[in-house]
Chains A and B, each alone.
Chain A
């Protein structure tokens, strides 16, 4: 159980890195392809990637505290 935190961080960072890289890549691709080598898609893509990674990381870290509720309709 103590390793979970570490693992989470590993996953998180790995995931973030991937996302950032992917975002960067996509950004680059887009920037190259569509936006005439502007830098804003790269940034945007990496930012998206970072954001997604951050969000995933957070989600991963929050996951134990997530409550899943069910609505029970009264009949």
Chain B
């Protein structure tokens, strides 16, 4: 379609161009601008390139959306691509913060494990199992605590690089928060420590007490055992003794168990305490150090006590072991002896107490056996002595070894204790020095802080001044602006209001004036109307004239007129200008005057010759004769100018008649006024009437004209 249009346009252009008669390069100019064949391929190429471009850009954007590194690369390499990406995808996500958790230090509860190892009991395995459990529990309990704290520390350190310098108030707030947190921690810590210490102390004391009790029990048992072994008491006492011994043994075992349990508990508590202390140590609050140290000392002392007690118990136990071994041996010997005795004297019960019932033979045999036994025993004793020496040596050596071991153990424990002590002392010293350092640092910091605060204060003061002045300036300027604006607005408002008010007032005034003028005009119109009405009334009264009678007296109407136009001088003048006789008597109508004229004319004709000089009867006769004999035109048009000839009575009368016939009373009156002599005298009456009528008519016409004029003047034309 485009091609068609182009072709059409081209043909038109061609026609135009060719039509203009430019034959120089017709071919060139009439060349078709549309290349039909190549157009589509060009379009195809264009479309393909556009598609490729679009595909490339879209693919880039999609991949950038998926891979932020690629996006960053593209943004770096191609300028303004970041804006495009921002438009298309939104801002790039910030790089993730790498977490570096702190190493978790394993807690050393070496002394504990050593203590556990030393306590070997018949139920040692159970105890060990129990020990292992808390041992396992102990380290993991502090460990997760530590990990938690480490994690907490990590989060703190994670936050720190991300946070830039905070504002001072925030820093102060943070410091305060930190202080408060520290305080809280401290208090909690101290309370924890105290609680732990208390419980630990209690438990340790309990354990110590239990151990002491165990010790006592062991000692008693041992003693009793020894007594039982050594003292050859009578059999019944022996049985009681053995019973007592059994009780003591049970007591001992019980107390040992109790002690063991107490020691377990104590050790658990100590572990806990240690864990708490370690936790407190890990929190690294400086103020807690002395309490930590004290707790540590307490712990140490408790551990020491516990260890000592345990060692005492151990020694007692070892003694007891020896004694029990000895007692075992003795029991063995006894049993053997008994067996021998039984073998010799089977019917005798192996009971020392049943000894009295024996016979002589038995006794002899027994004595012999006893002697033999004694010999044997002596031999054995000698052997034993020799062996004993060896044994003693070996035992000594063993003992030495054991002693060494024990010594080592003791040394190690003492070393540990010492180390601990040293450590504690060191820590104490460190603490002290730290405190001192802290104090010094605090003072220095305080000094610095003071200097800083001073500096800050100065700077702040200066800034405050500046800012204040600026703010004041701004405030003033804005205030001024606002004030001017406000004034302007109020002024505008006032102006507009005044304008409105003025306009309204003017309109009001105009309206009032218009109304007044209207009122006046209406008044005038009314008056004019009234005047006109009264004039019409007057006119009407004029028309009421009967044929031969005058009109009604015009007085009433004139009075009405006078009343209606009280302020109108012209009307008043006119009203007063009416002849009084018209007012009182009325005037004759023109018709009546016309009618009367004819009689007057006759009479005037008859006395035409009579005047001042001729007024005898003879003259009268003559004038009658003249009137009879002289014929004039009944009516003759009067000329514009009267000449001397026209002053003849008859002519005048005919003129007057003519003018009367044509309604011109005035002219008739004028003509009649030219009569002379008796004719005049005769016509005088008529003339007077005619004059009256004319006057009245004139005045009335004037009045009516005036009323009409006034009425017209006052009438509002729509």
Asked if A and B are interacting partners, one says yes
> Which residue numbers of A lie inside 8 Å of B, CB to CB?
1-2, 4-5, 54, 57-58, 61-62, 64-65
Cross-chain contact B684 with A1 (CB below 8 angstroms): yes
Cross-chain contact B615 with A1 (CB below 8 angstroms): no
Cross-chain contact A65 with B615 (CB below 8 angstroms): yes
State in angstroms the CA–CA spacing of A31 and B445 once bound together. 195
State in angstroms the CA–CA spacing of A61 and B610 once bound together. 10
Given contacts A64-B681, A65-B612, contact A2 B599 (CB under 8 A): yes
The 8 residue pairs across chains A and B that have the minimum distance between CB atoms: A1-B685, A65-B612, A62-B615, A58-B617, A65-B615, A2-B600, A58-B616, A5-B603
Cross-chain contact A1 with B686 (CB below 8 angstroms): yes
Contacts of B603 in A (CB 8 A): 2, 5
State in angstroms the CA–CA spacing of A62 and B603 once bound together. 16
State in angstroms the CA–CA spacing of A65 and B610 once bound together. 10
User: What are 12 sample pairs from A and B whose C-beta atoms fall under 8 A apart?
Assistant: A1-B682, A1-B685, A1-B688, A2-B599, A2-B682, A2-B685, A2-B686, A5-B606, A54-B617, A57-B617, A64-B681, A65-B611
Minimum distance in angstroms from A61 CB to a CB of chain B = 6
State in angstroms the CA–CA spacing of A2 and B600 once bound together. 6
Contacts of A61 in B (CB 8 A): 610, 615, 617, 620
Besides the contacts A2-B686, A5-B607, what 5 more A-B pairs have beta carbons closer than 8 Å?
A: A1-B688, A2-B682, A4-B682, A61-B610, A65-B615
> Which residue numbers of B lie inside 8 Å of A, CB to CB?
596, 599-600, 603, 606-607, 610-612, 615-617, 620, 678, 681-682, 684-686, 688
Beta-carbon nearest neighbor of A55 in chain B: B617
Q: Which of A2, A54, A65 has the most CB of B within 10 A?
A: A2
Cross-chain contact B682 with A5 (CB below 8 angstroms): yes
State in angstroms the CA–CA spacing of A5 and B612 once bound together. 16
Contacts of B599 in A (CB 8 A): 2
Contacts of B615 in A (CB 8 A): 58, 61-62, 65
Cross-chain contact B600 with A62 (CB below 8 angstroms): no
State in angstroms the CA–CA spacing of A65 and B680 once bound together. 12
Cross-chain contact B616 with A62 (CB below 8 angstroms): yes
Minimum distance in angstroms from B678 CB to a CB of chain A = 8
Beta-carbon nearest neighbor of B612 in chain A: A65
Contacts of B606 in A (CB 8 A): 5
State in angstroms the CA–CA spacing of A2 and B679 once bound together. 10
State in angstroms the CA–CA spacing of A68 and B682 once bound together. 21
State in angstroms the CA–CA spacing of A64 and B686 once bound together. 17
Contacts of B611 in A (CB 8 A): 65
Beta-carbon nearest neighbor of A9 in chain B: B620
State in angstroms the CA–CA spacing of A4 and B147 once bound together. 167
Contacts of A5 in B (CB 8 A): 603, 606-607, 682
State in angstroms the CA–CA spacing of A4 and B603 once bound together. 10
Contacts of B678 in A (CB 8 A): 64
Beta-carbon nearest neighbor of B684 in chain A: A1
State in angstroms the CA–CA spacing of A5 and B615 once bound together. 13
State in angstroms the CA–CA spacing of A13 and B606 once bound together. 17
Q: Which of A5, A54, A57, A64 has the most CB of B within 10 A?
A: A5
State in angstroms the CA–CA spacing of A7 and B13 once bound together. 124
Contacts of A64 in B (CB 8 A): 678, 681
Contacts of B686 in A (CB 8 A): 1-2
